[in-house]
Amino acid sequence: MNGKAIVKEFYSRAAVHAYYVGCSKGGQQGMAEAQRYPDDYDGIVAGDPANNTTKFYAGAHLWYSLATLKDPDSYIPANKMSMLGGAVNAACDELDGIADGVLNDPRACKYDAAALTCTAGQDPALCFTPKQVAAVKMIWAGARTSKGELLYPGLMPGGEAGPGGWASWTTGTAPFTSSHWNAADGFFKFMVFDNPTWDFKTFNPDTDVAIAEKKVGADLDAFDPDLAPFKNRGGKLISYHGFSDPDISPLNSINYYEQVTAAVGGSTQDYFRLFLVPGMQHCQGGPGPSQFDALAALERWVEQGVAPDTMTASHLTGGKVDRTRPLCAYPKVAKWKGTGSTDEAENFTCVAAAATR
């Protein structure tokens, strides 16, 4: 509101439109704006949003730490991530009919990490111990209660390798170095339990998530599916999420979209569109095309009434574009037409997803 007042004072007239763009925590803030202050912005871009914040800290940050650190033998060193990522790609890359190093829809990937289990006498540097395999499966499966009830969805296969993969976010370059560990430890010590000696290994998913939600959920969470006030005042929301995000599960964004659809009714795409970005890691990078202009698409939607069915994403090597692909409004995914270069967006069409995970 102060920004609008400054613009009006400086230009002697009010701004015609107001837009918000953010990713990760910025994506969470964008979602909070749409839910809590629907009159602030005409259009919002919320990328890879951490909007289910309390469960995210518990079911992602802390869960991945528990998977790899509660038992020291479960830790997966950074130099094994290329092995895991390579195995996933070998099993699932061509499910979309193209061998390009990108999982177009990782929900269809059913790879079993047990295939990497060390055999008798095998060099452990070239395989995964049973405890490391269990850690991978725990991360992919998502946070669950003792009864198996899902608290927060797991990461998708395909985001393990590379400079922005699990070694950066999920496991760290060494034990207790990942951003997940540091964020989760501080969150529960100082924001939830007010106890600097709290030990993360004592976390109880059956009780502690509810404690955290009661303590800080009302302030931090931006997962309210009732976007009716935002919709009714004409607001437009574009959300996007990297399908290879090693920090925040893209399934969280899918779940939120589906909950909004159920809560508000009508056509969600009239005011809210979700784009899943194959091969993109957290907000940027990864093997897939991840450069796209969501703000320009939002402006056309707000100012010209042209809703974005697709956005063209580019992949750059050495600063030069070497691949483009269309990003399709959920629930559709891009599919190669069967002719023409698979590095050119014009040779793809948006179709209904064939399978989900």
Place of tokens 């891009």: 334
Catalytically annotated residue among 247, 282, 290, 315: 282
- Report the residue count for the chain: 357
Question: Three-state DSSP class for 129?
Answer: coil
H or E element that contains 146 = none
Q: Is the dihedral of CA 174, 175, 181, 185 positive or negative?
A: negative
What six digits make up the tokens of 350?
Answer: 């948006």
Question: Three-state DSSP class for 20?
Answer: strand
Of 35, 45, 21, 17, nearest to 221 by C-alpha is 35
How far is it, in rounded angstroms, from Cα 309 to Cα 329? 5
Catalytically annotated residue among 245, 249, 290, 315: 245
Question: Three-state DSSP class for 111?
Answer: coil
How far is it, in rounded angstroms, from Cα 229 to Cα 264? 10
List all residues 6 or more positions away from 306 whose beta carbon is below 8 Å from its beta carbon.
Answer: 300
Residue type for position 299: E
List all residues 6 or more positions away from 16 whose beta carbon is below 8 Å from its beta carbon.
Answer: none
CA-derived radius of gyration, the chain: 21
Known active-site residue 282: yes
CB atoms within 10 A of CB 352: 9
Known active-site residue 168: no
Known active-site residue 100: no
How far is it, in rounded angstroms, from Cα 323 to Cα 313? 8
How far is it, in rounded angstroms, from Cα 280 to Cα 181? 22
Question: Three-state DSSP class for 322?
Answer: strand
Burial per residue of 8-24, b for 16 or more beta-carbon CB atoms within 10 angstroms, e otherwise = eeeeeeeeeebebbbbb
Active site residues: 24, 245, 282
